[in-house]
A and B are shown apart, each in its own frame.
Chain A
Amino acid sequence: MKALAGLVTLGFLAAGAGPAGAVQSVPVMAESCALCHGMEGRSPAAMPSLAGREAETLFKALMGFYDGSRPATVMDRIVKGYDAAELRDLAEYFAHRPPEIWP
C-alpha cells in the first residue's frame, strides 16, 4: 500500500481516460505487452515473465520505471504511454494470468 500512497504524490494519477482520450480495454491493451513478454506474459526466452506474479511487485516495478528509480533499457520509454490507473490495471491483469498453461 506504500506504493499507492506514493502514487498520489506523484501527481500523474489523473484518473479516467488515457492520453488517447478513450477508455481502454485492459485485456486488449495488455496484449500489446506480449510482443516482448510473450502471450499473457509467459515469456519463451530472455524477456522477464509477468504471468502469475504478485500484482504489487509488478506495479512497483512499473512505477519504478516511470520515476526512473528502476534501471531500464526500454520500459522507461513504454510506461510513459499509460497513466497510473492503467498501469495498476495492467499489473492486475498479468498477476491473474496462469504462469503455465500448456501441459
Chain B
Amino acid sequence: MTGYSRRLILGGAGACLALPTWAAAKPRQKGPTVVVIGGGFGGATAAKYLKRADPSLRVVLITGELTHITCPFSNTVIGGFASLAMLERNYDTLKSRWGIIVVTGMATAIDTAKREVKTSGGASFGYDRLIVSPGIDFKWGELEGYDEAAAQRMPHAWKAGPQTTLLRRQLEAMEDGGLVVMSVPGNPFRCPPGPYERASLIAWYLKQAKPRSKLMILDAKDSFSKQALFQEGWGALFGDRVEWVPAGANGRVVRLDAKGGWVETDFDRFFPAVTNIIPPQKAGKIAAAAGLTDSSGFCPVDPATFESRLVPGIHVIGDACIAGEMPKSASSANAQGKITAAVVAAQLQGEAAPEAKVINICYSLLSPDYGISVTGVYGVRGGIRASVAGAGGVSPLGADAHFRKAEADYAFAWYASICSDSWA
C-alpha cells in the first residue's frame, strides 16, 4: 500500500467528499482501451464501473448474446412462480448511459503479443487492458454418457435459457407419482447453494401439483452450502418429499444413459421420470484458449487485482477465476467486477491500485415466502481472498416464519438491486 491514506481518499473531513466518480475523474482527449469479454454479472459490472471511474476510457464489451438471461432466479421459473422473460437483461443502458461500445459475438482468440481479441465475426479489437468474465463451460463427457445431446433429454439448466424451460416443461408433463432425480457435482462449481435451492423449489411445485411425487438428490459430496438450514426447511415445508443422498451413502452418479432414461451410482440404477444433471464445470472456453487456466480448469489470479497469474495484463473475474474463499456467485462476480474496474482505471492513470474488502451474499429460496442466506466479507490475507474473521455466516437456525419471509423478500430485492447495479 503506497501513498493512500484514509483522509486522502475521503478528500478531507467536512468537505463534500471528492471521490473518483464520473464527475471527479480527469477527462482526457482519448483514453486507453479496455476490452471486456462476457456480458454477464462480472463483465457488465466491470464495463460500467470502468466508465464510472474514468469516462475517458474506451470500453468495449464483447458478449455472445443480444440479451443475457440471468441464472439467479431461474430456479423460480423451474418452481413455476416466475417467467424466463423476467430474467432477461439487455445492453441498452450500458450503451446509452455509460457510452460502452457493445459488440455482439464470441471472442474466439486472444493474441497476447499483439494485445488483440478476435471475434467470431472476424473482427479484431486491440486493448491496453483486458478483463475476462466468460462464466463457465461444462466438462462434457466427464460424467460417462452426459454430452450435449444427452442434455436435450436430461437438462442441466445450469445456464439459464432454453434448458430452464425444458426442465420446467418436463416437470409439468410428469405424471403425479413420478420420481425426480437431481445429480450434483463435486466442488468447485457455479453457485454452491444453487442445486439445493432448485431442489426446494421443485419440491414446492411437487407438493402442490404432484403430491405423490418425490425428489432425490444424488450428490458427489458429503456436505453442502447452508446444509443445516436447507434440511431444517425441507423438514418443515416438505416432510420426506426431499431425499438427499451424500457421496458416502453412494450418492455419486457415475454414468447415465439419456436415451435409456437411467442414471447409475456405484450400486444402484434409477429410472427417474425427470432427471436434472448438473455437470462438472470449468472456466468458459476462451480462458483455456488464452492460456489463463491451470489444471483445475479455472484461472489463478492475484487476489488484490484479479490479474492473471499466468498472463500479465489480463484480469479474470467471476466464475472463471479462482477467488480463494469467495464462492462462484453473481454477487462475487459483481463485486470482483468493481474492484477490478477500480484497479484497472487507477493503473491506467498511473496511480496506485486501490484495495478494498468486498461482500458476497447468496440468498436461497425454499418457497416464495421462505428465504435463507450466507454472506461473507473478503479481504486479501495470506495471498488469497479470505473471509474477514468474525464476519459473515449463515442465517440463524430455528428462526420464525416472519424472519424467513423477510429474507425471501430481501432475496427478491437483492435481485432487483444487483441487476440494476450491473446493467443499468
Contact = CB atoms under 8 A, between A and B. Distances in A.
Contact of B413 (A27, A46, A85): A46
B406 A22 contact: no
A2 interface: no
Interface in A18-38: 18-29, 31-38
Given A31-B338, A32-B338, A47 B357 contact: no
A39 B421 contact: yes
Contacts of B331: 35
B157 to A, nearest CB: 24
Contact of B5 (A23, A46, A80, A82): A23
Contacts of B381: 20-21
Interface stretch (B15-23, B110-118, B131-139, B227-235): B15-23
Contacts of A37: 417
B1 A22 contact: yes
A54 to B, nearest CB: 15
Interface string B326-338: 0000010011001
Interface size class of B (residues with CB under 8 A): 35 or more
A77 to B, nearest CB: 5
A89 B356 CA distance: 13
* Secondary structure of the B contact surface, majority rule: mixed
A39 to B, nearest CB: 5
A89 B5 CA distance: 12
A80 B392 contact: yes
B124 interface: no
Contact of A34 (B393, B416, B417): B417
B407 interface: yes
A35 B416 CA distance: 9
A77 B388 CA distance: 11
Nearest to A37: B417
A28 B354 contact: yes
Nearest to B24: A27
Contacts of B339: 28, 31
Contacts of B391: 19, 77-82
Nearest to B333: A35
A79 B390 CA distance: 10
Contact of B416 (A18, A24, A44): A44
Interface stretch (B159-167, B172-180, B236-244, B371-379): B371-379
Contacts of B361: 35-36, 74
Given A45-B412, A78-B391, A93 B17 contact: yes
Contacts of B97: 102
Interface hub of B6, B395, B416 (most chain A Cβ within 10 A): B6
B85 interface: no
Contacts of A82: 357, 377, 391
A74 to B, nearest CB: 6
A81 B331 CA distance: 16
Given A47-B414, A73-B395, A78-B391, A27 B358 contact: no
A20 B410 CA distance: 28
B264 interface: no
A68 to B, nearest CB: 12
A53 to B, nearest CB: 15
A60 interface: no
A80 B391 CA distance: 5
B359 A33 contact: yes
Contacts of A36: 361, 410, 413-414, 417-418
A44 B410 CA distance: 12
11 contacts: A19-B357, A20-B380, A25-B9, A25-B356, A34-B421, A36-B417, A36-B418, A44-B416, A46-B413, A80-B392, A81-B392
The 3 closest A-B pairs by CB, nearest first: A20-B379, A81-B377, A81-B391
Given A81-B379, A82-B357, A89-B6, 6 more contacts: A19-B388, A33-B359, A35-B334, A36-B361, A39-B421, A73-B395
